[in-house]
Amino acid sequence: MLETVHSTFESGDAYIEASPPAPRPSRAQAEDAVRTLIRWAGDKPEREGLLQTPARVVRAYEEWFAGYAADPAAVLSRTFDEVGGYEDVVVLRDIELESVCEHHMAPIRGVAHIAYLPVRRVVGISKLARLVDAFARRLQIQERLTSEIADALESSLQPRGVAVVVEARHECMSSRGVRKHGSLLVTRSFRGVYREPGPRDEVMALLRAARA
């Protein structure tokens, strides 16, 4: 049983003792939940075409939400110091991104562009793509996803600057609700020297070249 959330007030300040997280459901419980949703949708999970669907959905969830088991710091833990004196910007553009909207659990698909200004050490480019996946393969909103990628790069590499741009389409907007197709959400996050107008304009010119 979850502990009760306690709230007390002292001198006008609130103190909240949060309940511990609930234990993760078993695979069988997860499959039962899928069967419930199938029934709610109006179909029968017992019919032949749907018999294996709960197991398939749970396996798919293991892939779609693999980011919860990933450690972003570990992804960036191996760096390289032998850069031959290179001190200019490192840019990786058009990193494919797939995520899931936490509000409607609908797909988010797009690309991320990453730039950082190294200080003596760099990280392998495949690790930048893995970093994007570590955060994208979770229930997300794009704004937080963009900040999380930038924060991880700044914390692990301690570069002079970080710039992250994410461009994505959200099926929660195109397949339901207002049903607007083709809309592209663009989010940006800057750290270090890229908070300053001059360096920011320079790095944005490099990232915009992805569309050329």
The whole-angstrom separation of Cα 159 and Cα 191 is: 9
- Host H or E run for residue 13: strand 13-17
DSSP H helix total and E strand total for the chain: 7, 9
pLDDT at position 6 is 39
Q: What is the mean pLDDT of residues 194-211?
A: 87
- Host H or E run for residue 179: none
Residues labelled as active-site residues: 101-104, 142, 170, 172
Q: What is the mean pLDDT of the chain?
A: 88
Check pLDDT > 80 for residue 19: no
Contact status, residue 186 vs residue 166, Cβ threshold 8 Å: yes
pLDDT level of residue 207 (50, 70, 90 thresholds): confident
pLDDT digits (tens, 9 = 90+) for 136-154: 999 999 999 999 999 999 9
pLDDT level of residue 18 (50, 70, 90 thresholds): low
CA distances from 46 to 31, 49, 53, 83, 191 (A): 13, 8, 10, 60, 53
- State pTM to two decimals: 0.85
Residue 175 identity: S
List the single range of 3-12, 19-28, 189-198 with lowest mean pLDDT.
3-12
- Host H or E run for residue 122: strand 122-123
Check pLDDT > 70 for residue 108: yes
pLDDT level of residue 180 (50, 70, 90 thresholds): confident
3-state class of 62 per DSSP?
Answer: helix
- How is the beta sheet containing 185-192 ordered, strand by strand? 139-140, 90-101, 107-117, 161-170, 185-192
Q: What is the mean pLDDT of residues 173-201?
A: 88
Exposure string of 112-148, with b = 16+ CB inside 10 Å and e = fewer, is bbbbbbbeeebbeeebbbbbbbbbbbbebebeebbbb
pLDDT level of residue 11 (50, 70, 90 thresholds): very low
Check pLDDT > 70 for residue 14: no
Residue 138 backbone dihedrals phi, psi, to 5 degrees = -145, 170
Rg of the chain over all Cα atoms, to the nearest angstrom:
21
pLDDT level of residue 87 (50, 70, 90 thresholds): confident
Check pLDDT > 90 for residue 3: no
pLDDT at position 91 is 95
